[in-house]
Structure 1
Amino acid sequence: MVTPFRGNLDVDTEAFIAHCRWLVNSGAGLAIFGTNSEANSLSIGERIELTDALIGAGVPASSMMPGTGTSSIPDTVQLTRHAVDAGAAGILMLPPFFYKNLSEDGLFAYYSEVIERVGDSRLSLYLYHIPALSGVPITLGLIERLLKRYPDTLAGVKDSSGNWSNTKAMIDQFAAQGVDIFPASEAFLSAALPIGAAGCISATANVNPACIAQLCARWNDADGAALQEEATTVRKIFQALPMIAAMKYTLAHWHNDADWCTVRPPLTALDEATGHKLIDDLKAIGFDMPGVRAKENA
């Protein structure tokens, strides 16, 4: 889930809550504080405050899967405890991502230490495999070890490798053991859902949630192939660009609110020429964001 910022780079909490409500009403859950949230550009305090603001605004904690993984065990434990106490449905946890070429033993020790320190039977842990950015892969062997040690805690994996063979291997090996496997692109859904995937955790659900939710629900219906084609077409437009900036530009256009374009450095916003072409490309395929409210006098 993307995080809206004001022009001065402060989080726009009101816009954050409104976006969450729109996503839930469109059939999506809320993977707050993931990659597209610019989570690693947010402080620990900001993540906690935003979680509390969502719950205070009546957004159900049961719809949330907050990202809590950091390179610091104490920070990860603090974020994870807070999310569990808030009633989040699950926790999406990056591996410690600063040191590279880590051993499986080291990663197992990290996750084990976090689980033991949190010490809460309510913890449902989802491992976050995104090696292109973290540089630290979540291997099948690590998943197996954690599942054996913590069968009631390890709930699933988000596979952001973009490698279908890896996603399929995860589904084939672990779905039957009750582990939820989520590919990170809706383009894989028609292949993944029939063999046991749990759904997808996708960047472009930020802008196309209803279509993706319908695909998850109706992939095996007569219109399943058409829904897959529609979702994949939208996905291809966004993934050809810097994804976070492109989604924020799109949200800015449909909300009529230029602040939505803001990203925190070191990321940069789309330039106007690229942004205008993006909107033209989306309109050419009939894309819309029903239910998004345009800001007046923006």
Structure 2
Amino acid sequence: MTAAGTFAGVLAPVATPFKDDLSVDTDRFVAFCKQLLDEGCHGLAVFGTTSEANSLSVDEKLDLLRALKAAGVPGEKLMPGTGTCALPDTVRLTRAAMEAGAGGVLLLPPFYFKKVDDEGLYRAATETIRRVEDPQLRIYLYHIPPIAQVGWSLPLVERLAADFPGTVVGLKDSSGDYSYTEGVLRRYPGFAAFVGNERFMKDALELGGPGTITASANVNAAALRKLYDNWQGAEGERINDAVCAFRRTLEQYPTIPAVKAIIARRTGDPTWQNLRPPLRPLPEEQAAKLYQQLDALAALAGVG
């Protein structure tokens, strides 16, 4: 099974800034998207998990897509998350992504009903493709069973890619189980299986993988890009060690609050710590410990 994936490299599931009244701060969102591209991200997986996507309404997502297009963010750099529990919402968002010129979409399975079988998920994906009816559509399946409790099995991935060649072209594996990514890369050469954790990126690249879509790209984009560009040889090992150390530190905390705390510190803008309930900001004592750990890593890396 082969497929020509549109994306490769480092993609950020872009964190969404909220004002103090918890409304979306569109201007800061657009500016942050541009910043991430400038820092080395190859693409932007807006409306991913780190984006608090399922705390955003469909209309809010549509407004943000329009704002990105109006600001001149290249559509081909965008991989918006469009999968929802409701088929009409998924179709509406996917169509809007295509209208914005997105290079692809990241498709969560409908996740409210648990213990659904592959046939049900196949029908959900098929209906989305049929109703969107756009030859430019490129779908990356979003596999995150620890959160969704519903996932894309390897046989289902194979079936969708075989039945919709050139449309279902890749996936993001956030299962936490690298053997899933490895299974895809070994069984289906050419299928763009992104790792959701950069600790596995070098191993996946060695098997022909396309790269990573990772939360830490919001706060470590330059190092991730350096690893992607230089992953082979002794230099690659050194960069990989530093990238993995950063990720291991981040994993000690709730990911989204930690990412937003780091952005708030770097920008000097405390409103970056705003999250929509039920999520809440990182407690001050945890944030202080996180900052100390990251400062120590930076000093060890010789970047002050």
Confirm or deny a common fold (TM above 0.5).
yes
Q: 1:147 aligns with which of 148, 154, 161?
A: 161
2:82 is equivalent to residue 68 of structure 1: yes
Greater RCO (CA < 8 Å, at least 6 residues apart) = 2
What is the deviation of 1:222? 3.2
* % identical aligned pairs: 44
SS where residue 216 of structure 2 aligns? helix
Residues of 2 paired with 1:31 and 1:210: CA distance? 17
Q: What is the 5 A alignment of 1:1-298? A: 1-28=14-41, 29-174=43-188, 176=189, 178-286=190-298
Partner Cα distance (1:131, 1:81) in 2: 25
Give the Cα separation in 2 of the matches to 1:147 and 1:189. 23
Q: Deviations over 1:253-281 (max 9, x none)?
A: 01101100000001011111111111111
**Shift, 1:8, TM fit:** 0.8
Where 2:298 maps in the other structure, the secondary structure is coil
Q: Within 1, Cα distance between the matches of 2:96 and 2:50?
A: 21
TM-score, with structure 1 as normaliser: 0.94
RMSD over aligned Cα atoms: 1.1
On the 8 A contact 2:173/2:195 being kept in 1, the answer is yes
Q: Where does structure 1 differ by over 3 angstroms across 4 or more consecutive aligned residues?
A: none
Partners of 1:85 and 1:137 in 2: how far apart?
A: 28
Aligned-partner SS, 1:127: strand
The number of residue pairs the alignment matches comes to: 286
CA contact (8 A) 2:202 2:231 kept: yes
Query: What SS does the corresponding residue of 1:156 show, helix, strand or coil?
Result: strand
Contact kept in structure 1, 2:184 and 2:191, CA below 8 Å = no
Q: Distance in 2 between matches of 1:103 and 1:152?
A: 24
Provide the rounded CA distance (Å) in 1 between the counterparts of 2:201 and 2:123. Answer: 33
**Deviations, residues 14-43 of structure 1 (Å, cap 9, x unaligned):** 111111111101111100001000000000
Q: Distance in 1 between matches of 2:126 and 2:106?
A: 15
Q: Point out where structure 1 has 5 or more consecutive residues left out of the alignment.
A: 288-298
Q: Secondary structure at the match of 1:286?
A: helix
Distance, in Å, in 2 between the alignment partners of 1:221 and 1:10 is: 46
